[in-house]
A and B are shown apart, each in its own frame.
Chain A
Amino acid sequence: EIVMTQSPLSLPVTPGEPASISCRSSQSLLRSDGYNFLDWYLQKPGQSPQLLIYLGSNRASGVPDRFSGSGSGSDFTLEISRVEAEDVGVYFCMQALQIPLTFGGGTKVEIK
């Protein structure tokens, strides 16, 4: 099973400032065809998770361009260029390279 490790656990942010979340996997998520099987999700309070970034760096439909994903292999980063109040919630990374699909422990983003 691929273990996903996120940091930090909690991230207090100031509106308008940047934020960054790290996700590391116990095995490389880079498939031979060049795709990194790493997604980022945001679960806002009281809501279902929503897809932000798929295959490591592709923004999902409707996701603001202040969100970006980067990284390859076993080391990935989600960046928010300028945090807005609506970005609060828990962010999860998830690997889909191998069954069982596994999630990181989550990073709770809250406004200072």
Chain B
Amino acid sequence: EVQLLESGGGLVQPGGSLRLPCAASGFTFSSYAMSWVRQAPGKGPEWVSSILGSGSRTYYADSVKGRFTISRDNSKNTLYLQMNSLRAEDTAVYYCAKDHSPSPNGIWGFDSWGQGTLVTVSS
């Protein structure tokens, strides 16, 4: 059974940093692209960032480019999101999500989501 477990969320001041890990199990982690999707309170999901299974390519939404960094450690089956220069508008539940295709190229969509971790940016 696929399991994705995010952690690291919490309250942070504007301009601060957080690192979100997502521990994965139940599948061959290095074979799948992984992504972060966030959902602000009362809003729909917003794609944030993705990384291919090999880690060779990364993709970012314009709203986080230059501030957030996605990475993965395939030896530890763990996905990360380093978030710097946080803003109030980054407040959301952050989900990690597994791609539904083992294709080495590109992002296909998400067949498994974690339970999410809440990030609140406020002074």
Which residues of A approach B to under 8 Å, CB–CB? 37, 39, 41, 43, 48-51, 54-55, 60-61, 90, 92, 94, 96, 99-106
- Evaluate contact between A51 and B47: CB separation under 8 angstroms: no
Give Cα A37 to B100, complex, Å: 12
List residues of chain B with CB under 8 Å of any chain A CB: 35, 37, 44-47, 50, 59, 61-62, 95, 100, 107-116
The answer on a CB contact under 8 Å between B44 and A48 is no
Do A96 and B108 touch (CB < 8 A)?
Answer: yes
* A49–B113 CB distance below 8 A: yes
With contacts A39-B109, A49-B95 known, what are 10 further pairs, Cβ within 8 A?
A: A39-B100, A48-B113, A49-B37, A51-B100, A51-B110, A55-B109, A99-B107, A101-B35, A102-B47, A103-B47
Q: For the complex, what is the distance from the CA of A78 to the CA of B115, rounded to whole Å?
A: 25
Is the beta-carbon distance between B59 and A48 smaller than 8 angstroms? no
Does B44 contact A106, Cβ atoms closer than 8 Å?
Answer: yes
* Distance, CA A94 to CA B114, complexed state (A): 18
When A48-B95, A54-B100, A100-B61 are in contact, do A92 and B111 touch as well, CB less than 8 Å?
A: no
The CA of A103 and the CA of B95, in the complex, are separated in Å by: 15
Q: Would B45 and A51 count as touching, CB distance under 8 A?
A: no
Task: Please name all residues of chain B whose beta carbon is closer than 8 Å to the beta carbon of A103 when the two chains form the complex.
Answer: 44-47
Taking a contact as CB atoms under 8 Å apart, the answer to whether A49 and B45 are in contact is yes
A48 touches B116 (CB 8 A): yes
